[in-house]
Amino acid sequence: MSRSLLIVVSGPAGSGKTTLCSRLTEAYPSAIRRVITCTTRAPRAGEVDGVDYHFLSRTDFERQVAAGVFLEHAQVHGNLYGPRSADVGRHLDAGFDALLNVDVQGAATIRAQGAADPRLAGALVTVFIRVSDHAELLRRLTGRGTDPADEIARRVAAAEEEIRHAGAYQHLVESGSRAADFAALQSIYLAEKARRP
């Protein structure tokens, strides 16, 4: 049995990272568990508490920050996000690969923690999903139909900053088609599993 991995996937809004993470967990249901992130963001249509995110009030989130509950936490687009350390540990301890969808701030924090924690360092795999074409990113964000124009403008501006951090990741997926993106992520996952007996 190979060692468990902590797979950290980042990318700007509209890069498809959430869809890719869902597809990877669906493709390997006996091997990968997605870590459900906590957020203060309001649920979008169709999102379910405890399935898509743990939706918390800002007060509850801040209380958990003060208690040291989160592996990392950050404010993104005006909302707080963070995965609970216990959720990550539970999956790894059970022999599963833990899959995290976090922003570049969160990934940097996890990498820094990995430098001090041999277990985390040995498990960590970082992947950045990059959409190089500005027009394509804008098309994806507007195509969702879930965000107002001012929010889309904020996300596009943030994407430009996030893309500057792509070089800090072990792996880079240049986003094209959803099928090609998934094939690239799957190849990274299988290669990392093969090299960590």
The pLDDT score that the predictor gives to residue 118 is: 84
Cβ–Cβ under 8 Å, residues 72 and 54: no
The pLDDT score that the predictor gives to residue 188 is: 98
Torsion sign (Cα): 76, 46, 134, 180 = positive
- DSSP-derived secondary structure for 3-51: PP-EEEEE--TTS-HHHHHHHHHHH-TTTEEEPPPEE-SPPPTT--BTT
Which distant-in-sequence residues (6+ apart) come within 8 Å of 150 by Cβ?
none
Split at pLDDT 50, 70, 90, the class of 1 is: very low
Domain 6-35+90-194 has CATH 3.40.50.970: no
Torsion sign (Cα): 107, 110, 111, 112 = positive
Q: What pTM does this model have?
A: 0.87
Split at pLDDT 50, 70, 90, the class of 140 is: low
